[in-house]
Chain A
Amino acid sequence: MQLSDRELWTLIHGMGLGALFLLAFGGGVAGLWSLRSKLLTEEGLAERTPRLLIGTTVMAVVSWLTVIVGTWVVYPWYRATPPEGLDLTVQGDALREFPRYWLLAGEKTEEWHKFGMEWKEHVAFLAPFLATAVAVGVLYYGAQLAHRGEIRRALLIFFTLAFAAAGVAGLFGALITKAAPVA
Chain B
Amino acid sequence: MQSPNTIQTKPNGPVAAVFLAAGIGSLVMGILVVLNEVSTEISSFLKFDANFGLGSGVGPLSGKAILAVLAFFASWLILGLLFRGREVKFGPILTIALVLVAGGFLLTFPPVFGIFAPA
Contact = CB atoms under 8 A, between A and B. Distances in A.
Given A118-B110, A148-B12, A76 B57 contact: yes
Interface string B76-112: 0000000000000011001000100100110011110
A130 B22 contact: yes
A19 interface: no
A67 B90 contact: no
8 contacts: A37-B4, A79-B57, A123-B109, A136-B14, A140-B15, A144-B7, A148-B9, A157-B98
Given A130-B101, A133-B21, A140-B10, A125 B29 contact: yes
A141 B101 contact: no
By Cβ-Cβ distance, the 8 closest A-B pairs, closest first, are A76-B57, A122-B108, A129-B22, A133-B22, A129-B25, A144-B9, A136-B18, A118-B110
Given A114-B110, A130-B22, A137 B58 contact: no
Nearest to B57: A76
Interface of A: 37-38, 67, 71-72, 75-77, 79-80, 114-115, 118-119, 121-123, 125-126, 129-130, 132-133, 136-137, 140-141, 144, 146-151, 154, 157-158, 161, 165
A113 to B, nearest CB: 10
A137 B105 contact: no
Interface in B4-36: 4, 7, 9-10, 12, 14-15, 18-19, 21-22, 25-26, 29-30, 33
Interface of B: 4, 7, 9-10, 12, 14-15, 18-19, 21-22, 25-26, 29-30, 33, 55-59, 61-62, 64-65, 68-69, 72, 90-91, 94, 98, 101, 104-105, 108-111
The dominant DSSP class at the A interface is helix
A158 B22 contact: yes
A157 to B, nearest CB: 7
A141 B7 CA distance: 13
A24 B47 CA distance: 34
Contact of A80 (B4, B12, B57): B57
B58 A161 contact: no
Nearest to A164: B105
Q: Which of B64, B90, B104 has the most CB of A within 10 A?
A: B104
Given A75-B58, A129-B26, A119 B9 contact: no
A133 B10 contact: no
Contacts of B29: 122, 125-126
Contacts of A118: 110
Contact of A76 (B56, B72, B108): B56
